[in-house]
């Protein structure tokens, strides 16, 4: 039970009035970010990252992770009230949430969604509390080949498990790697891919890419569709909340199944979006009222919301324990750690105990803060959505511009942001996934140096990635993930033949 | 949301296939540029291990291979005749991109605060058809909040441009 005493210490670190204030500010900003289309979790954290440079790392991560929780909760609000998912992982919530709102049961749907989000996140945090230290301990035995094989596994599972065409995922991811290579080579100190432009000396900061691809790109998409907000006001009082809670007890089975799906997909970098769809699908198949799904079933709101928050939260497990983010937002948080001078990875548990356990403790408190805030603030957020797009759009672009500029105080970055925005728009429309691109951009340097160190160790012999049972099994698993689409096709083919 | 796009096939626009082909050509070109540049840096083994271009070169190869596969995938007859976006939709996209470009250009000249005021109010008045006073007050409000937040509270200096009006009040 060493974890429990460390956790208590973590609470002691986090529970200062200043940190609690940051927590509520963070959750509040996060909900706004989650509600507004065009500002997402990753993007919101990216824009606000420069504001935390002067804070202590613990306070900074408390605020930023709370922005993340807020965004995970807030994404559901617009899905239910307006059928506009504020975040991709809330799409599955619209299936039953919006019909419920149409039937005048918006309060019920929102309560169910928030409670389920809270449940999913809480389960994932409990898992992190007990599993993360063990994973980190295990990972302390890692050398460069092991680290590269874990990175390799991460990238391969993106290609194998993604729902986009595999070669599009490959291209998007490799562009991320190429962008990461721009600038000064960390090993030899040579300039790479700068083509003589001084603006490129610094390399591409992933924050610029995130703000452009997700922020500006999303606005362009919304604009193209001629988005107009016409919402319904949701009256949410404590009576509805209590009544819904009584009803929710029936769906504990669905909640636990969705939690497992969410945690699994969050730790392997499947992410919150596939988790929410998968949980919805499983709930539909296993529920007695399966055929009524899509017409406003409470269970249809519970399943995706539990899963997306469980996935969103457990995506932080590999980030804390291994230094490998499981989601774009976790990737941005990881970038934050690097900026504050912390090297993410297993050593963090040994060297920065206060920070890690403070972060884990803030996950518990942040989620409680989120639940309180979302339940009280819904009418206010409904009011935000009545602001027409022709006001929201330029304001968001101004905010993105400020965010991009403050990363390195460079106007060049602002122009890059605009270019990334157009690229993000085209990529999204053509099913090129953006998450692997950002992931590769963040991890590119580390993956490359792990690879080069391994190559130095082995004098260029690729067999080093199979040299012991640990690295070998990770590499084999990675290759299995990479070729999963082909394997799945083959199995289906054999089954079809066997069937007749 | 994709339903909305497919519902209006009558509107003229860019076909999905054309957009796919152009994009895979662009990614292929990007791959070639990275490959050539890495080759010039050296992508072999030196006495002290892999050279600087070693890793990016293979990355570039993967970009090119992926782009070729994506390109060929679009040449199949069943790739579909769906639309990427209609001209009307693209014009709407341009109404965001063009003013945003002007806005960022203006930052170089008059700084972010004045440019944001001009951009937000201009956008609201011209494209949103709001009365001038509404546009100006929202623009001023946002600029004011930004100024207080960054210059005063967080002490983060934002660009004030070549013609800095804030020098009058000591910033």
Q: pLDDT tens digits, residue range B112-141?
A: 999 999 999 999 998 888 899 999 999 999
State the Cα–Cα distance between residues A206 and A62, nearest whole angstrom: 21
Phi, psi for residue A287 in degrees, rounded to 5: -75, 150
Helix, strand and coil in chain B, % to nearest 5: 75, 5, 20
State the Cα–Cα distance between residues A375 and A497, nearest whole angstrom: 54
Nearest to A293 by CA among A283, A305, A278: A283
Phi, psi for residue A197 in degrees, rounded to 5: -90, 125
Asked if A462 reaches chain B (Cβ–Cβ under 8 Å), the answer is no
A429's tokens: 């429309």
The minimum CA-CA distance between B19 and chain A, rounded to whole Å, is 8
Asked if A410 reaches chain B (Cβ–Cβ under 8 Å), the answer is no
Per the CB < 8 A criterion, the answer to whether B111 and B164 are in contact is yes
Number of cross-chain residue pairs from A and B with Cβ atoms under 8 Å apart = 169
**B87 → chain A, closest CA residue:** A224
**A224 contacts in B (CB within 8 Å)?**
85, 89-90, 92-93
B60's tokens: 């570039």
Consecutive H or E run containing A146: helix A144-161
Alpha-carbon distances of B112 from A295, A353, A417, rounded to whole Å? 48, 41, 15
Q: Looking at A135-139, A141-145, B25-29, which range is the least confident one?
A: A135-139
State the Cα–Cα distance between residues A118 and A49, nearest whole angstrom: 25
**A423 → chain B, closest CA residue:** B23
Please count the helices (runs of H) and the strands (runs of E) in chain B: 5, 4
Position B154 confidence tier, pLDDT thresholds 50, 70, 90:
low
Contact A398 B120 (CB under 8 A): yes
**A449 → chain B, closest CA residue:** B55
Give how far the C-alpha of residue A295 lies from the chain's centroid of Cα atoms, to the nearest Å: 29
Nearest-by-Cβ selection for B104 from A190, A192, A401:
A401
pLDDT digits over A17-73, tens only? 888 888 888 888 888 777 765 566 677 788 778 777 778 888 888 888 888 888 878
pLDDT at A418: 94
Nearest-by-Cβ selection for B123 from A216, A390, A422:
A390
Mean pLDDT of B3-12: 52
Within 10 angstroms of residue A27's Cβ, the number of other Cβ atoms is 31
Contacts of A220 by beta carbon, 8 Å cutoff, 6+ apart: A421, A422, A424, A425, B93, B96, B97
**A421 → chain B, closest CA residue:** B97
Give the pairing type, strands A183-184 and A191-192: antiparallel
Per the CB < 8 A criterion, the answer to whether A93 and A219 are in contact is no
State the Cα–Cα distance between residues A47 and A468, nearest whole angstrom: 43
pLDDT at A282: 80
State the Cα–Cα distance between residues A216 and B99, nearest whole angstrom: 13
In the Cβ-directed half-sphere of B170, how many Cα atoms lie within 13 Å? 1
State the Cα–Cα distance between residues A265 and B71, nearest whole angstrom: 31
Alpha-carbon distances of A129 from A69, A125, A139, A328, B25, rounded to whole Å? 17, 6, 16, 22, 47
Contact A393 B5 (CB under 8 A): no
pLDDT at A40: 64
pLDDT digits over A412-428, tens only? 999 999 999 999 999 98
Nearest-by-Cβ selection for A171 from B50, B63, B138:
B63
Asked if A142 reaches chain B (Cβ–Cβ under 8 Å), the answer is no
Consecutive H or E run containing A184: strand A183-184
Consecutive H or E run containing B13: strand B13-15
Instruction: Say which residue the tokens 């992926």 belong to.
Output: B66
Alpha-carbon distances of A398 from A47, A51, A86, A254, rounded to whole Å? 11, 16, 19, 42
DSSP state of A205: -
Higher pLDDT, A267 or A84: A267
Does the structure show a pLDDT above 90 at A185?
no
Burial state string for A278-315 with b = 16 or more CB within 10 A and e = fewer than 16: bbbebbbeebeeeeebeebbbbbbbbbbbbbbbbbbbb
Mean pLDDT of chain A: 81
Contacts of B116 by beta carbon, 8 Å cutoff, 6+ apart: A398, A401, B103, B139, B142, B143, B146
Does the structure show a pLDDT above 60 at A152?
yes
Contact A398 B116 (CB under 8 A): yes
Contact B50 A422 (CB under 8 A): no
**Distance between first and last Cα of chain A:** 55
pLDDT at B136: 93
Contact B52 A192 (CB under 8 A): yes
Contact B56 A193 (CB under 8 A): yes
Mean pLDDT of A282-301: 82
Consecutive H or E run containing B46: strand B45-46
Nearest-by-Cβ selection for A174 from B45, B62, B138:
B62
Nearest to A377 by CA among A88, A34, A1: A34
Contacts of A55 by beta carbon, 8 Å cutoff, 6+ apart: A22, A63
Position A86 confidence tier, pLDDT thresholds 50, 70, 90:
low
Does the structure show a pLDDT above 60 at A486?
yes
Strand, coil or helix: B45: strand
A162's tokens: 């993604």
Within 10 angstroms of residue A164's Cβ, the number of other Cβ atoms is 17
Strand, coil or helix: B171: coil
Nearest to A357 by CA among A54, A124, A117, A125: A125
What is the ipTM for the molecules in this complex? 0.89
Does the structure show a pLDDT above 60 at B9?
no
State the Cα–Cα distance between residues A273 and A433, nearest whole angstrom: 12
The minimum CA-CA distance between B53 and chain A, rounded to whole Å, is 8
Does the structure show a pLDDT above 50 at B24?
yes
Give the pTM. Answer: 0.76
State the Cα–Cα distance between residues A337 and A446, nearest whole angstrom: 14
Cβ contacts of A470-477, under 8 Å, gap ≥ 24: A470/A141, A470/A146, A471/A145, A471/A146, A471/A149, A474/A146, A474/A149, A474/A150, A474/A152, A474/A153, A475/A149, A475/A152, A475/A153, A477/A153
Strand, coil or helix: B154: coil
State the Cα–Cα distance between residues A320 and A298, nearest whole angstrom: 34
State the Cα–Cα distance between residues A50 and A403, nearest whole angstrom: 8
Alpha-carbon distances of B17 from A334, B22, B24, B85, rounded to whole Å? 37, 9, 11, 11
Mutation site, B21, B49, B94, interface A, largest A CB count within 10 A: B49
């Amino acid at each position: 039970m060493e974890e429990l005493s460390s956790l208590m210490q973590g609470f002691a670190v986090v529970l200062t009035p200043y940190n609690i204030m940051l927590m509520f500010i963070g959750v509040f900003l996060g909900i706004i970010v989650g509600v507004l289309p065009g500002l997402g979790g990753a993007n919101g954290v990216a824009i606000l990252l420069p504001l935390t440079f002067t804070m202590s790392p613990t306070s900074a991560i408390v605020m930023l992770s709370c922005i993340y929780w807020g965004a995970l909760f807030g994404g559901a609000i617009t899905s239910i009230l307006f059928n506009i998912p504020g975040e991709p992982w809330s799409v599955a919530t619209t299936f039953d949430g919006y019909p419920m709102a149409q039937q005048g049961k918006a309060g019920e749907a929102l309560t169910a969604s928030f409670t389920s989000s809270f449940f999913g996140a809480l389960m994932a945090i409990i898992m992190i509390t007990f599993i993360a230290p063990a994973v980190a301990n295990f990972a302390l035995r890692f050398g460069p080949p092991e680290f590269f094989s874990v990175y390799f596994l991460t990238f391969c599972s993106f290609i194998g498990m993604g729902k986009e065409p595999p070669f599009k995922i490959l291209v998007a991811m490799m562009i991320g790697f190429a962008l990461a290579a721009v600038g000064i080579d960390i090993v030899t100190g040579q300039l790479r891919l700068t083509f003589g432009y001084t603006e490129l000396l610094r390399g591409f900061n992933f924050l610029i890419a995130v703000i452009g691809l997700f922020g500006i790109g999303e606005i362009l998409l919304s604009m193209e569709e001629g988005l107009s907000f016409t919402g319904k006001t949701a009256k949410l009082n404590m009576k509805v909340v209590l009544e819904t809670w009584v009803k929710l007890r029936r769906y504990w089975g669905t909640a636990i199944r969705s939690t497992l799906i969410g945690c699994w997909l969050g730790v392997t970098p499947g992410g919150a979006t596939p988790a929410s769809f998968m949980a919805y699908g499983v709930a539909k198949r296993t529920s007695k009222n399966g055929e009524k799904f899509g017409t406003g079933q409470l269970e249809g709101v519970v399943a995706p919301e539990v899963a997306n928050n469980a996935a969103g939260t457990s995506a932080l497990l590999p980030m804390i324990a291994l230094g490998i983010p499981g989601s774009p937002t976790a990737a941005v948080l990881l970038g934050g750690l690097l900026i504050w001078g912390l090297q993410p990875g297993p050593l963090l548990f040994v060297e920065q105990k206060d920070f890690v356990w403070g972060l884990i403790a803030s996950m518990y408190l942040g989620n409680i803060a989120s639940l309180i805030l979302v339940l009280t603030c819904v009418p206010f957020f409904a009011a935000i959505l009545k602001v027409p797009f022709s006001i929201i759009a330029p304001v968001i672009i101004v905010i993105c511009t400020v965010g991009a500029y403050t990363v390195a105080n460079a106007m060049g970055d602002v122009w890059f942001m605009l270019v990334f925005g157009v690229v993000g728009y085209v990529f999204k429309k053509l099913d090129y996934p953006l998450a692997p691109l950002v992931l590769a951009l963040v991890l590119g340097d580390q993956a490359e140096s792990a690879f080069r160190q391994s190559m130095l160790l082995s004098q260029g012999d690729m067999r080093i990635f199979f040299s012991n049972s640990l690295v070998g099994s990770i590499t084999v698993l990675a290759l299995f993930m990479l070729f999963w689409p082909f394997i799945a096709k083959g199995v289906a083919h054999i089954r079809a033949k066997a069937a007749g | 949301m994709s339903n909305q796009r497919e519902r209006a096939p009558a509107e003229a626009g860019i076909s999905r296939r054309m957009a796919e082909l152009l994009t895979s050509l662009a990614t292929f070109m990007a791959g070639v540029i990275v490959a050539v540049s890495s080759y010039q840096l050296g992508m072999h083994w030196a006495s002290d291990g892999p050279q600087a271009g070693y890793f990016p070169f293979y990355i570039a190869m993967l970009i090119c291979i992926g782009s070729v596969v994506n390109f060929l995938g679009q040449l199949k007859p069943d790739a579909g005749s769906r639309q990427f976006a209609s001209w009307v939709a693209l014009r709407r996209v341009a109404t965001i991109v063009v003013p945003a470009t002007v806005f960022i250009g203006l930052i170089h000249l008059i700084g972010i605060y004045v440019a944001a005021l001009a951009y937000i109010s201009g956008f609201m008045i011209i494209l949103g058809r709001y009365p001038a006073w509404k546009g100006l007050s929202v623009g001023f409000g946002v600029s004011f909040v930004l100024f207080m937040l960054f210059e005063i509270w967080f002490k983060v200096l934002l660009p004030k441009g070549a013609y800095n009006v804030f020098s009058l009040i000591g910033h």
